[in-house]
Amino acid sequence: MGSQQHRTGRPRAESGASAVEFALIVPILLTLIFGVLEYAWYFNQQISATQGARAAARAHVLHHDEPGFDLLSVANAGSPTLTIDSAVASTAGCPAGTTVTVTIAGANDALLGLFPLPAQIGAKGAMQCEG
């Protein structure tokens, strides 16, 4: 008969080969999966920062002259996954025909911290002032 076989039909000499192959592939596969997750989270935060900057620019155009208007709180409300540390408008007022640009910055909260990513996330949003 030659070599003995297990119930699976594989020769006895190959019984641990699958476990070794699995052990060699798992670290590469996990690194790939965690890398995709980490960078997806980073890009999500970048999109959130852009949304916050746009929301702050729009609010500045509409409400800049109202008492109690806070650009930073508007930017944070428009940015659900990122805590924004600073929001600065390019002009204090909003003369007709000018474009207001709001620049925001926030700390990057890494999802896992396994890969090198920028520590700060920034974005700009612009809106035109109407008369």
Per-residue pLDDT of 43-73, as tens digits, reads 999 999 999 999 999 999 998 888 989 999 9
> Is 78 inside a domain boundary?
yes
**Mean local confidence (pLDDT), 91-107:** 91
Do the domain assignments include residue 68? Answer: yes
Whether residue 1 lies inside any domain: the answer is no
Task: Give the mean pLDDT of the chain.
Answer: 88
Minimum mean pLDDT range among 28-32, 50-54, 76-80: 76-80
Domain annotation covers residue 46? yes
| pLDDT the model gives residue 92 | 84
pLDDT, residue 6, reads: 55
**What is the number of structural domains in the chain?**
1
pTM of the model: 0.77
Please check whether residue 2 lies inside any domain of the structure. no
122 within a domain of the structure (yes/no): yes
Instruction: Tell me, yes or no, whether 4 lies in a domain.
Output: no
pLDDT above 70 (res 2): no
pLDDT score recorded for residue 27: 95
The domain in which residue 63 lies consists of 12-128
Task: Evaluate if residue 78 carries a pLDDT over 60.
Answer: yes
Which residues, including other chains, have CB under 8 Å from residue 34's CB and lie 6 or more apart? 112, 114, 115
Could you tell me if residue 30 is inside a domain?
yes
> What order of strands is seen across the sheet that includes strand 99-107?
84-89, 99-107, 120-128
